[in-house]
Amino acid sequence: MLSPEELRKQRRRLEESWDHFLRDPRAAGSSSIRSVVLESWSRCVQSGVDPRRKATDISLKEDQIKDILQYSQLYELSFPVLQDLSLQVKETGYLVTLCDPKGHILFLDGDHQVLKKAERMNFVVGADWSEQSIGTNAIGTCLEVGQPVQIFAAEHFCVGVQDWTCSSAPIRDPISREIIGVVDVTGLWRDIQPHTLSMVTMACGTIQSRMNQQIAGARFELSERYQRAHRRYPGNGVMALDAAFHPVAVNEEARQILRRHSGREVEQWWDNERIHAALFAARSPSGDEGMYEVTLEECGIRVVVEEVQWSGRRVGYLLILRPMGSQKAAGPTVAWGGVIGRSPEILSVISRCDVVAHTDVPVLLLGESGTGKELFARGIHQAGPRRNGPFIAVNCGALQKDLLASELFGYAPGAFTGASKTGKPGKFEEAQNGTLFLDEIGEMPPEFQVHLLRVLQEREVVRLGSSQPIPVNARIIAATHRNLEEMIRRGEFREDLYFRLHVVSLTIPPLRDRRGDIPLLIDHILDQLSKRYHIPRPGLEPDVFDFFAHRYPWPGNVRELKHALEYAVLFCNRVITWRDLPETLRKAGLGDSDRPLAPKNADPPVTSGDHRLAVGRSTLASPRQSLPGPVKSTPVSRLEPDPDVANAEPGGTGADREQLLQLLEEVGGNLSEAARRLRIARTTLYRRLDRYGIRKRLKIE
């Protein structure tokens, strides 16, 4: 470290060199000035920077800075590192800054007395410290050369900055390697420290390490979503893109579709700016799903685009590619994007809905409460020719009897006390050229059903207080969880109205009859909740997952599953455990004890053909794999210790091969329950299954 006198001499030498350069830039080649500084001075002359400048420009306004910081991942990841760095330098007379790739200061902290002095040269948040604005300085020169840089005193090109010394290092995008920001430490020239540049470089390394972790997490999320989409839409092309639109994963179906319809490979096809613009420029996500559909006429391909969120940020996209004219029922459209499942039961309903969607016949949706009847009604609307018209939903059970007529048919001006002076259209008119969804049609009072029947027959309405018929053109979809045929026998529902609505009836299966879809629903709901609450996506404790997927009957169906998971997400700490569940589910799973109840033999098996079920961030063996071959019946209480295992694993209870097979059959393949009954850890159970070759035989993963 130089003494104060040596520093003064060094500054005078630099001032002489700077003055000599300004008089004759071409003769400066023999100067003792460092090459990085000399090259920067030359750029400043070529750019026309005035060396007499005392201060830089303030380019960003306060509202612009707030917008940048609100969405800046760089700022979010850098902030803790910058705070630590500020604490280190605050007593040394230094300032810490973070700048964007254009040299604008986004963060500034440090010694308050030094901050006041720095304000004279506009060293403030929002200021432009690029070389083009204020000449040679560590921030701007670092951006130009892409390397850590320290600039001392008269090495600065502009005279207003020559009382300072600054050290900057670049932050690079871990994937593209482009500079996305600069960290800078600035102080008065007398306070120069030899270790400052290395300290700044280390801070940038820490920030880049944090970015690497974020990117790894985002890539993992993209990979998981890609795998789920690949399973959910078999036979369709699936691509995953990162936030910069670079392909992360592509299945063979997508490659074949692109070769066949565009004549290009994925890499060639994707490098087309027109494709980028067509897919993302007119982005208009549908509802909470974040999905929208695009038709690429020049390639003859339909693409469903779905945003992928992680930790409250968009980290990429899923693309589902289908040739135009393809009618695969399992293929996604925006219409069916919200229907989660690939069980035969749900795919059959989607297929039939897709068929009736292209007709104009009335549809009656049947199913228990919470199965998603309105979701299917919206899907029929979106998949049909009326998709550009309105979708109007009316819950017939939620309207008071005296309001039904005015709500459905509307009223004329002054029709009753308190009526609007201009009148009001009813739901039938609002649904003109679209779809009217009459939910809970079984709750409609019998005396009102005759009026609804007349509208359906005549296709016109008469507003209350008027005699003028108004033609209506709306498709009718009705839904109920009640048995309408039984209601007809009791005289509670008109038979003629029933047959008018019952041209096509479709039954939405309850959740307990499509248990194979529960893992997919759990994944999807947790994705949506983590996006809504801006939190990392939680996992499920294995016992809780087993209870959800295989044991609980879900009387409230998908709605109950959503509510249970939302409750758990709000109270859990990264992993959903029994204590995080609503009390009713906790009691159903634990009974009066603090241990999960054993699964019932009558529970139906999982219908999924996939033996691995995603739970949070882990993958578990399916607890419902069938056990081949006859096994000897041996009660669990009679299991005798295996001396070798007992000696090797203190506190464990051994079991021979047949007894293990019998135990697995008794617990329905539930490894957690088997380990509990043996009073050993799951990892110990895995070792025993490996010892007897059971994992390999049963393909337990």
pLDDT in tens, 29-74: 556 789 999 999 999 999 999 999 999 999 888 888 888 887 677 8
Average model confidence (pLDDT) across the chain:
80
Residue 90 has a pLDDT of 74
Q: Which two tokens stand for residue 550?
A: 């295989």
Residue 633 has a pLDDT of 30
Question: By mean pLDDT, which of 1-5, 20-24, 645-649 is the weakest?
Answer: 645-649
DSSP state of 104: B
Among 334, 245, 232, CA closest to 291:
334
Edge to edge, the sheet with strand 179-188 lists 105-110, 94-99, 179-188, 164-172, 149-152
Question: By mean pLDDT, which of 101-105, 183-187, 315-319, 483-487 is the weakest?
Answer: 315-319
Residue 280 has a pLDDT of 67
Confidence of residue 298 (pLDDT cuts 50, 70, 90): low
CA distance 324 to 308: 24
Question: By mean pLDDT, which of 200-209, 360-369, 436-445, 585-594 is the weakest?
Answer: 585-594
Question: By mean pLDDT, which of 138-147, 419-428, 662-671 is the weakest?
Answer: 662-671
Residue 681 has a pLDDT of 63
Confidence of residue 286 (pLDDT cuts 50, 70, 90): very low
Please report the beta strands in 216-297, taking only residues with DSSP state E, as ranges in sequence order: 237-242, 247-250, 291-296
Inform me whether the pLDDT recorded for 593 exceeds 70.
no
Map residue 242 onto helix, strand or coil. strand
Map residue 292 onto helix, strand or coil. strand
Residue 326 has a pLDDT of 52
When pLDDT is averaged across residues 596-607 and rounded to a whole number, the result is: 39
Inform me whether the pLDDT recorded for 569 exceeds 80.
yes
Question: By mean pLDDT, which of 77-91, 270-284, 309-323 is the weakest?
Answer: 270-284
Residue 600 has a pLDDT of 40
Inform me whether the pLDDT recorded for 647 exceeds 60.
no
Query: What would the pLDDT profile of 612-643 be if each residue is shown by its tens digit?
Result: 223 333 322 233 333 333 333 323 222 333 33
CA distance 101 to 400: 61
What's 422-482 look like in SS3? CCEECHHHHCCCCEEEEECHHHCCHHHHHHHHHHHHHCEEECECCCCEEECCCEEEEEECC
Q: Residues of 670-682 as b/e, b for ≥16 C-beta within 10 angstroms?
A: bbbbbbbbbebee
Stated as kind and residue range, the H or E segment containing 186 is strand 179-188
Residue 272 has a pLDDT of 66
When pLDDT is averaged across residues 417-446 and rounded to a whole number, the result is: 89
Q: Which two tokens stand for residue 14?
A: 């630099």
DSSP state of 128: B
Q: Residues of 425-434 as b/e, b for ≥16 C-beta within 10 angstroms?
A: ebbbbbbbeb
Question: By mean pLDDT, which of 39-48, 82-91, 457-466, 664-673 is the weakest?
Answer: 664-673
For the chain, the maximum distance between any two Cα atoms, rounded to a whole number of angstroms, is 107
* Percentage of the chain modeled with pLDDT above 70: 82
Residue predicted with more confidence, 635 or 193: 193
Among 657, 663, 662, CA closest to 692:
657
Residue 283 has a pLDDT of 56
- What is the reported pTM? 0.48
Domains and CATH numbers, the chain: 4-210 (3.30.450.40), 233-323 (3.30.450.20), 336-411+424-509 (3.40.50.300), 514-590 (1.10.8.60), 654-692 (1.10.10)
Query: What would the pLDDT profile of 238-259 be if each residue is shown by its tens digit?
Result: 989 887 777 888 999 888 888 8
Q: Residues of 106-144 as b/e, b for ≥16 C-beta within 10 angstroms?
A: bbbbbbeebeeebeebbbebbbbbbbebbbbbbbbbbbb
Residue 144 has a pLDDT of 96
Residue 660 has a pLDDT of 79
Query: What would the pLDDT profile of 343-390 be if each residue is shown by its tens digit?
Result: 888 888 888 888 888 888 899 999 999 999 999 999 899 888 888 899
Residue 562 has a pLDDT of 94
Residue predicted with more confidence, 502 or 697: 502
Among 10, 294, 38, CA closest to 141:
38
Residue 335 has a pLDDT of 63
Please report the beta strands in 254-400, taking only residues with DSSP state E, as ranges in sequence order: 291-296, 301-310, 313-323, 363-366, 391-395
Map residue 493 onto helix, strand or coil. coil
Among 210, 132, 147, 133, CA closest to 182:
147
When pLDDT is averaged across residues 280-309 and rounded to a whole number, the result is: 67
Residue predicted with more confidence, 41 or 177: 41
When pLDDT is averaged across residues 583-592 and rounded to a whole number, the result is: 82
